[in-house]
Amino acid sequence: MKVLANDGISQNGVDALTRANFEVLTTTVAQEQLTNYINENSIDVILVRSATTVRKDLIDACPSIKIIGRGGVGMDNIDVDYARSKGIHVINTPAASSNSVAELVFAHLYGGSRFLYDSNRNMPLDGDTKFKALKKSYAKGTELRGKTLGIIGFGRIGREVAKIALGVGMKVIASDKFVGEATIKVEFYNGQFININIETEPMEEVLKHSDFITLHVPAQKDYVIGQKQLDLMREGSGIINAARGGVIDEVALIEALKSNKIAFAGLDTFEEEPTPAVQVLMNNKISLTPHIGAATNEAQDRIGEELASQIISLMSN
């Protein structure tokens, strides 16, 4: 049985599949050459992340495929329903990267509240000649402790964010169309833990009462945060998107940053990936990362192991 990990897989995943007598190919095949490669090599399983798409035309052209796997949560780059209608298993790893994304949210939150995103741009340029001016410019940061974090989307990742926020000493409020309440287990290094119950609220209420907003929703047809929602937010609040590009109206966001309605934004995903708008990239109130929410060594190991486990289980039945 052959597995093509077209967007890569951790060595742990490769080892687990190899032990189960799968042949794992880690060649990165260009999208336009993928159909020929799969057919020439009789690929049984194709694993992708964000770069490779598996659409109806590829599914129809590659009858050897039995499993399509996505290393991560969202599967908007796969025609899931069509694949399943053809008897193909479609799998993903929804829990493997939750903690990694949550920690990146807090990297943006801490960086935003203390201006690190801008300080790190200007210190190399002017730190030796304008040190006192820069010190004054960045001397009005805020602490996270005691502030309110609003979480839009209270699934696995949203709940991991809540755990960190509660540990930091923040108040957490949340909104989710499908979750009424959730018990958040905050665990400590010595095995102790506390459980905190959080009931979700309408999104409008969360926007009005939060010092910071973080989004954890799937790809949408329409914006989740547009001009109307930005207007509801507190003056001088911050917003983080480590979910999917297109859930925030970036044009409206830039206007809100210009007017100081929003103090800063942290973006890991963008409307126009992989070529984000220049106005976004050059804005000095936006903390930027190139869609690396799940890109930690630990998450990649968990993703590889989880995909391998599911593949082995499905193909042994």
User: pLDDT tens digits for 56-102?
Assistant: 999 999 999 999 999 988 898 999 999 999 999 999 998 899 999 99
Query: Number of folded domains in the chain?
Result: 2
- The encoded tokens of residue 211 equal 């010092």
pLDDT of residue 306: 96
Q: Are residues 192 and 301 in the same domain?
A: no
Catalytic residues: 244, 272, 291
pLDDT of residue 286: 97
Give the residues of the chain that fall short of pLDDT 70. none
Count, in order, helices (H) and strands (E) of the chain. Answer: 13, 13
pLDDT of residue 307: 97
pLDDT of residue 316: 85
Domain range enclosing 18 = 2-93+297-316
pLDDT of residue 200: 98
pLDDT of residue 95: 87
pLDDT of residue 94: 87
Q: Are residues 134 and 214 in the same domain?
A: yes
pLDDT of residue 4: 98
pTM greater than the 0.85 cutoff: yes
Q: Are residues 212 and 263 in the same domain?
A: yes
pLDDT of residue 74: 81
Question: What residues form DSSP beta bridges with 67?
Answer: 45, 89
Q: Are residues 136 and 200 in the same domain?
A: yes
Strands 89-92 and 148-152: unpaired
Q: Are residues 75 and 216 in the same domain?
A: no
User: pLDDT tens digits for 257-269?
Assistant: 999 999 999 999 9
pLDDT of residue 72: 86
Q: Are residues 128 and 113 in the same domain?
A: yes
Strand order in the sheet with 212-215: 171-175, 148-152, 212-215, 237-241, 262-267, 286-288
Burial 248-284 (b: 16+ CB within 10 A, else e): bbbebbbebbeeebbbbbbbbbbbeeeebeeebeebe
CATH code for position 71: 3.40.50.720
